[in-house]
Structures are given as structure tokens and as C-alpha cells.
Amino acid sequence: MVINKSQKNLRLLFPQWQAGINRPYVLGAHLLNFLAPKEKGVFEQVSLDESNLDYQAGIYAKQAILNQTKEAKKLIQKHNPDSLVVLGGDCSVDLAPFAFLNEKYNGDTVLLWVDAHPDVSYDMKNHHSQVLANLLGVGDRDFVKEVNKPLRPEQVLYVGLSDMLDALELKEIKGMNLQSLSSEELDESKVLAWLKERQPTHVMIHFDLDVLDMTEFRSILPANPNKYEEYKEKIPRGTSMENIINVLQEVGRNYNVVGLGITEHFPWDALYLKNMLERLPLIGDVTNTERLKFNDPLE
């Protein structure tokens, strides 16, 4: 094992929602922080910019997302940590942290993109769909500017990829030949074999919870209670939680993990419970008749 137990760690709570165009990611991030083991190291929280929610260059709330990305960058630079845990929020929360780590370690890193989606669609209105493209130096120029040392394609492995695969055929992405393991073929031995070929000193992990099987874990966007049966048949089956745990534990036993970003926690039951409590006598407002409404980008 090459794990450095003395490394300085920063836990970053980053409750960004705009890049996924879904406010419930705010509650999802705070619940992740509540549920996670007590932080080891220092803690910071990125504030939300709610004043810039218009479209710019075809991207929803572009300026707000950039402002939050820059704040995250400043917080990270203030502490100059050896390792980072990021609790989000939509997938774009990992832009500043992983850019920082790849620069800090002069490209001697690899990135496991544990996600159902490739996140290289640089022509979509929701920025979280292009965050990995930005880390690779592709996409919206203002976000690419935030990446001082872009990742090389050979540094990236998709883990559990299953949906929106057409994005990999985009002109600037196709030639990169990004490697992937689908949910069906995923096991720890294949991930370790890929890592053994590269012998990285440092490993970063992006863990989007939507990689999980929605019939097993329902706190993700596709598990919409109003359309659950439809989406269960329509959306590719994800990966079991135990499979993901086994993979990431094996990586952690054998390599120095310096970055872990956990994103897109969409706590349906907690959201409905919160709404109910807000409308009850004594603790809420009995005149409140507002039911929850959600933007559904899956449509």
C-alpha cells in the first residue's frame, strides 16, 4: 500500500444545483455531509450565487456556476490540501477540485469517472453534462480557463458508464478514445488491471450516485416516484452498490486516493417529507397548499 496517512485533507461542501438545473441537489449535498463520517482535516463550504440565473452562451446560470467554481478554487488554494473530499451538488462541483489536484501533482494522477453518463456533452444547456470535457480541455472556454493543467485522455477511466453514450462521438471527444467499463462488465479486477498499466501515484474518484441501480438506491434523479415504473424500464440498469463499494475499496487499499467527489444525491423521500412538515400545524403553515414541482431533464 502507498497510502499517505499524514496527508492534509480538505472536505468541501459544495451544494451547487444550477449546473444540473435542480434545486434538490442543495438538500442532497447537505444530507451527504450530515451522513458522512466526521471529516478528517479542515472543512469549507462554497456559497450559492442565486443572482445570476439567466442563460449565457447557451448554458443555464453560467455566471453563477463560474462564480461558485472560482470560490471553490480560492477555498482550496487557501488550504493547499494534499487530498480533497467534495460533497455535492451536481457533477460540476468536481471541476475546481480535480483541476487543482492534477496541477498540484503535475499530471501524475488518474481519474476514475464513476458515473452512468460520460459528461462530455459540451453542447448542452446544463453545464454538469460537460464537466469532464472541461477537465480534458474541451468545451466552454470560460470553464476550460479554470483548468490550468488539463487531463490527458489516458488518465481517465469510465466506471459504470451506461447512458448518453452518443456524447462520446462528438468531434473533439471521439479522437480521445476514452476507455470505459460498463456496469455489466465492471469488477474490481478490471479497474485494478487498468491502474496497474498506468502505475499512478495519485488517484481521483468522481462518484455520481446515478451510477447506482435505481431499484436498489432511489435517492437519484431517475427514481422519480411519479415516473418510477416508466423510468425503470426506459433507463439502463445501473450498478449495484456493493459492486461499487468493492471496486472503490480495492482502489483505496492499493493506491493513494487524493480526491473523492460524491455528487447528484437527489433525496426524493426527504424532499416530500420536508414539504409535508412545512404544511403541518404548529411546525408549519396550514395555509400552504404548494406541492413540490421538479424540473425533469430526463424528458
Q: What is the pLDDT of residues 211-233, one digit of tens each?
A: 999 999 999 999 999 899 999 88
Number of domains the chain is built from = 1
| Phi, psi dihedrals of residue 148, rounded to the nearest 5° | -70, -30
Q: Looking at the domain assignment, is residue 83 inside a domain?
A: yes
85-144 confidence digits (pLDDT tens): 999 999 999 999 999 999 999 999 999 999 999 999 988 899 999 999 999 999 999 999
> Domain holding 174: CATH number?
3.40.800.10
Selection from 168, 146, 150 nearest residue 158 by Cα: 168
Query: Does the structure show a pLDDT above 70 at 182?
Result: yes
Q: Looking at the domain assignment, is residue 289 inside a domain?
A: no
Query: Does the structure show a pLDDT above 70 at 55?
Result: yes
Percent of the chain scoring above 90 in pLDDT: 85
- Mean pLDDT estimate for the chain: 94
Q: Looking at the domain assignment, is residue 293 inside a domain?
A: no
Q: Looking at the domain assignment, is residue 23 inside a domain?
A: yes
Q: What pLDDT does residue 37 have?
A: 95
What's the rounded Cα separation, in Å, for the pair 122 and 154?
A: 20
Selection from 158, 141, 201, 194 nearest residue 7 by Cα: 201
Q: What pLDDT does residue 1 have?
A: 40
The sign of the CA dihedral 125, 130, 135, 141 is negative
Among 2-6, 140-144, 272-276, which is the least confidently predicted range? Answer: 2-6
Q: Looking at the domain assignment, is residue 34 inside a domain?
A: yes
Listed in sequence order, the residues at least 6 apart from 221 whose beta carbon sits closer than 8 Å to its beta carbon are: 20, 22, 210, 264, 266, 297, 298
Q: Looking at the domain assignment, is residue 201 inside a domain?
A: yes
The sign of the CA dihedral 113, 119, 122, 125 is negative
- Domain extent at residue 163: 9-277
Average pLDDT over residues 266-295: 93
Q: Looking at the domain assignment, is residue 99 inside a domain?
A: yes
Q: What pLDDT does residue 164 have?
A: 87
Q: Looking at the domain assignment, is residue 158 inside a domain?
A: yes
